[in-house]
Amino acid sequence: FGPFVDAKHEQVENCQLLGAFADVFKLCLKTIVEGTRSAGSQLVLVPSLRDAHHDFVFPQPPFPCPELPKDDRTRVHLVPEPCTLDVD
């Protein structure tokens, strides 16, 4: 669950990030995806209204992520908020 780039974070509020919000999110997502790859985990990424890089409307659309590697697309699920998740 987000926020992944929290609009309430001190560095975001004070404009102290070294890159664009979308770039920070991409780096965060890359770290999460690569860090869980060997575990074979399924990831479900749900946006938050406090995500600075994403539309803060309700209901929220899923994150766009065209850069997601093909090998990870079957285990990384980008869902809207709200959503219904059926586990097994």
CA dihedral 27, 68, 7, 60 (to 10 degrees): 180
- From the number of C-beta atoms within 10 Å of its C-beta (0-12, 13-18, 19+), residue 63 rates as buried
Q: Which pLDDT does position 20 carry in this prediction?
A: 84
Q: Is residue 3 part of a domain?
A: no
Count Cα neighbours of 85 within 13 Å in the Cβ-side half-sphere: 13
Instruction: State the residue range of the domain holding 73.
Output: 10-78
pTM given for the model: 0.77
What's the pLDDT tens digit per position in 42-87?
Answer: 999 998 888 888 877 889 899 888 888 888 888 999 999 999 988 8
How many separate domains does the chain show?
1
Domain for residue 84, yes or no?
no
Q: Is residue 72 part of a domain?
A: yes
Question: Once rounded to an integer, what is the mean pLDDT over residues 27-31?
Answer: 88
Whether 15 is covered by a domain: the verdict is yes
